[in-house]
Structure 1
C-alpha cells in the first residue's frame, strides 16, 4: 500500500471514530458547562457610577469566562426591591448582589464597617485594610453566617456632606431636621437631634421634592448632578463626615461560590477587584467637572461645615462606633481591627497624601 493511501485511509477511519465518539456524548455537553447567574442590585438601572459599575462587573465576568458564567443584572425593583437584595442572595433566590453593605445593618451592625463609618477609612485605606489588614477574613466570617461570600466591588471615595434646604450654621440647626442618611452616620445625626431615614437611591428625589425630608446625602457631585438635587435645594455642604471612602460590594450566595472551580473563584475575585479600581477612578474623573457644573450653571451654594459642627459629629461618631463594637464577639473583633488600622493609617496618610497636597497647593495655588 502506498504511504499516501495509508494516511488517507487512516484519516477517514479517525474521522469516523471521532464522529462515533461525539455521538456517544449527550448533545448539550458543552451547554451544560455554562451557567447564568442572577445579580440583583440596590441601584436604579444604568445609574451613572453605581448602576453602570454593577453592569460593568457583570459584563466583565461574562466576558472573562468566555460566556461560561453569564451574569444577568436586575436593577432595583426588577426582581426584588432594593433593600431585599441581601435576603434574595442569602436564600438563593438570586445568585449575587451589588450593593453597599451598610444597608444590611439590620442583619448585623458590623456590616457598616465594610462600606464606610463616620470618621473611618478613606478609599485607599479601606482597600489596604480589607486586602492586607485582616478585613477580608473578618468580613468572610460575618457574611458567611448569612450564607454569603463578600468581595469589594467599587468605591466612590470621600462623599459630600449633603444637600440642605437651609443653612446649617450650628449644631442647633440640626435639631428636628429630617435627613436621608443610612448607616452609622444616621445614628450620629439622631444623637444630635436630627431624624435620619434610610432610602434607596430611586426614592430620594421625590422625598426631597415633597418635603418628606429636609436634607439628603447621596454620593458626590457626579451622582448628585445626575439625580438633580439642585432643582430642589441649593445648599451643598462639605466634607462628609459619614462616608470617607465608601466601598461597594458584591455578595455571592455561598453555595454558588463553593460550586465554582478554584479558577472561577479567582476569575470572579479578579473581576470584582478590577471594578473596585475602575469605579474609584471613574468617580475621581467625573466629580470635578460635575461640581463646576453645579456651581456655575445651576447656582448651587457650596458651604463648609464649621469646626464646631464637625467636632460634634466627631464626638458622637466615636460613641456610636464604640457601642457598635460592643454588639457581640464578631462586632468587637471587626471594630478593634478597624480602629487599630485607622490609627496606624492616619500618620502615613497625613504625612504622604496630606503633606503632598498641602505643598502642591502652596506651589500651584
Structure 2
C-alpha cells in the first residue's frame, strides 16, 4: 500500500474515533509545504503539535511531516480539502489560485507591519472574512505563524532605477510578483528547494524568499552579489495550519480552543525568535561578500504605484478580496495616527 493510501486510511480511522467519542487518544498526520529543516518555518508546525499534545494531556497527537512525504508541497491544500490529508501547514499565499484573498493575506505589498497585521487578523475582523473564502473548500484555517518584514530579495543585477527591473528574471510570488511584472520583470514561482540552484545556474537573476534568518540558512549569499531592502512586497505574512473541516468539526469545543490558542502561542514565539535572529543573519551575509543595500526611493515609489494598481485590479475580480482589502486599508488608516504619534526619532 502506498504512503498516500495509508494516509487516507489513517484519516478515516481518526475521523471514526472522533465522531464516536472514543476514549482512546487520537492521532493525525499533518504535512507541511516546507522542509522541516528550513529555519523558523520548518519547525513551526512541530512546535504547534507539541503544544496541542501537551494542552490536551496527550489526547491528541499530531504527526508532522515535511514537504513531499505524502503529496507534493503545492498539493497540500487540495489534499486537506478532499480529506486525503487531515491537516497541513502552509504559506497562505500558495493557494491564491483557489482563494484570491490568500494573496492579500500572504503578501500585501506596502501592507501592514506585523503588529498591525496581528491586530487586524484577530481584533479587526480579518479572520472572519478569510474563513468565508475557505468554507467552500471544506477547510478550517488557523493563522499560526506570522512572518515579520522580509528582505527585498537577492540580486545578481544592480538596481538603481525602475528601468533596471526591465527583463529581470526573478523568483517572486503573489501580488509583489504582479507589481514587478508591471515594471517589466519576468517573474516566476520557484519552489524553495530549487531557488539556490536556479540562482547558481543563472536560470534566474534574482529571488525573494523570506527574512534574513530564513534566507541565510538556504545559502543564497553564496550565489548572489546584492541583498536589497526593504521587503516592500511583504512587510508581514501569514503561515497557517489548515484542517479538513470534517476533522475540525469532530473535535469538541475545548480541543478546538486549544488548537487556536496553541497557534497564538506559536505566533508570539516565532515573532520574538525572528527579531532576535535577523542582525546575526545580516552579519553572516556581509561576511560572505554579498552587499546589503536599500532600494533607491525612486524604485520604491514606482513599486508602490504598481502595487496599488494590482491591488485594485484584484479587488475588482473577487468580492471577498475586495472586502478584505477595504477592511485592512481602513484598519491600517485607523491605527496609523497612533503609530505616527508614537514614532521616535532615529538614533
Query: What corresponds to 1:181 in structure 2?
Result: 172
Matches within 5 A, 1:157-168: 157-168=148-159
Q: 1:262 aligns with which of 248, 253, 259?
A: 253
How far did 1:56 drift?
1.0
Which residue pairs with 2:141 in the alignment?
A: 150
Q: Which deviates more, 123-132 or 30-39? A: 30-39
Which of 81, 96, 105 pairs up with 1:114? 105
Residue 350 (str. 1) matches residue 340 (str. 2): yes
**Contact in 1 for aligned 2:33/2:66 (Cα 8 Å):** yes
How far did 1:67 drift? 2.1
1:52 to partner: Cα distance: 1.0
1:127 and 2:121 equivalent? no
Aligned counterpart for 2:52 among listed residues 61, 71, 82:
61
Aligned to 1:223: 214
* 1:274 maps to 2:265: yes
> Aligned with 1:83: secondary structure?
helix
Q: How big is each residue's C-alpha offset from its partner over 1:281-320, in whole Å with a ceiling of 9 and x where there is no partner?
A: 111111111111211x212201111111000000010111
Candidates 294, 302, 321, aligned match of 1:304: 294
Asked if the contact 1:40–1:96 (Cα under 8 Å) also holds between the matched residues in 2, the reply is: yes
Determine helix, strand or coil for the equivalent of 1:40. Answer: strand
Matches within 5 A, 1:1-365: 32-295=23-286, 297-352=287-342, 355-356=343-344, 358=345, 361-362=346-347
Relative to 1, partners in 2 of residues 1:300 and 1:242: Cα closer, same or farther, differing over 3 Å? same
Measure, in 1, the Cα distance between the counterparts of 2:84 and 2:251: 18
Equivalent position SS for 1:308: helix
1:351 deviates by: 2.8
Q: CA deviation at 1:41?
A: 0.9
Once the two structures are TM-superposed, the CA of residue 159 in structure 1 deviates from its matched residue by 0.6
Q: Across the two proteins, how many residue pairs are aligned to each other?
A: 328
- Equivalent-residue separation in structure 2 for 1:291 and 1:305 (angstroms): 16
Question: Tell me, which stretches of 5 or more residues in structure 1 are unaligned?
Answer: 1-28
Per-residue CA deviation, residues 184-204 of structure 1 (Å, 9 max, x unaligned), is: 111001101001111221121
In structure 1, what is the Cα distance between the partners aligned to 2:318 and 2:209?
Answer: 30
For 2:129 and 2:23, the matched residues in 1 are separated by 35
Query: What residue is the counterpart of 2:17 in the other structure?
Result: none
Structure 1 residues 65-120: Cα deviation after superposition (integer angstroms, max 9, x where no partner): 22211111111111111111111111111111111111111112111222221011
Secondary structure of residue in 1 paired with 2:103? helix
The residue number in structure 2 matching 1:8 is: none
SS at 2:28 equivalent: strand
Q: Quick one: structure 1 residues 350 and 234, their matched pair in 2 at CA, closer, same or farther if it must change by over 3 Å?
A: farther
CA RMSD across the alignment: 1.5
SS of match in other structure, 1:255 = helix
- Three-state SS of the structure 2 residue aligned to 1:326 is helix
> Matches of 2:97 and 2:89 in 1, distance apart?
17
8 Å Cα contact 1:101-1:111 kept in structure 2: yes
Deviates more, 1:104-113 or 1:340-349: 340-349
TM-score, structure 2 length as denominator? 0.91
Alignment partner of 2:187: what SS?
strand
- Is the Cα–Cα contact under 8 Å of residues 95 and 253 in structure 1 kept in the other structure? yes
In the alignment, is the contact (CA less than 8 A) between 1:113 and 1:338 conserved in 2? no
Mapped partners of 1:346, 1:145: distance in 2: 34
Partner of 2:10: none
Partners of 2:290 and 2:126 lie apart in 1 by: 38
Q: Report the counterpart of residue 13 of structure 2 in structure 1.
A: none
User: 1:30 Cα deviation (Å)?
Assistant: 10
Is residue 43–residue 200 contact of structure 1 (8 Å, CA) maintained in 2? Answer: no
1:50 aligned counterpart, secondary structure: coil
